[in-house]
Structure 1
């Protein structure tokens, strides 16, 4: 994935979830690495990772503190 696309994804998720970009980038990289370790077909892993990160951050932001 080109770096510009990754930066755009991270920026968009950060804005949507009110989370620092550094945090989003770390979670995205960790999620993508975990998927890559298990997957035989790699084509859609960035999309799956993006969805997982969004869902995780949204779920965490709705939990009461």
Structure 2
């Protein structure tokens, strides 16, 4: 079940930029969203912060593999 806050365009962009399957990016995005939104009173910037964290995690993960 997809989180209502997921922006498909952002997920697809991250997947394309990092060469990671959309399903994996979606799962990471949803998990990061849940972590960041837990107890958050202001959520205006969450899409930007979540996308940045997912991208950074995937970049670090990619560097560890190589």
Structure (1 or 2) with the greater helix fraction: 1
- Say what the alpha-carbon RMSD is for the aligned residues: 1.7
Mapped to 2, the partners of 1:35 and 1:64 lie a distance apart of 27
How many residues matched? 62
Mapped to 2, the partners of 1:6 and 1:64 lie a distance apart of 28
Question: Please, which runs of 5 or more residues in structure 1 have no aligned partner?
Answer: none
Question: Please, which runs of 5 or more residues in structure 2 have no aligned partner?
Answer: none
Deviations 1:16-62, CA, capped at 9 Å, x for gaps:
11100000001001101111103221110111000000000001001
TM-score relative to the length of structure 2: 0.84
Partner of 1:39: 40
1:60 aligns with 2:61: yes
Which stretches of structure 1, 4 residues or longer, exceed 6 Å deviation after superposition?
Answer: none
TM-score relative to the length of structure 1: 0.85
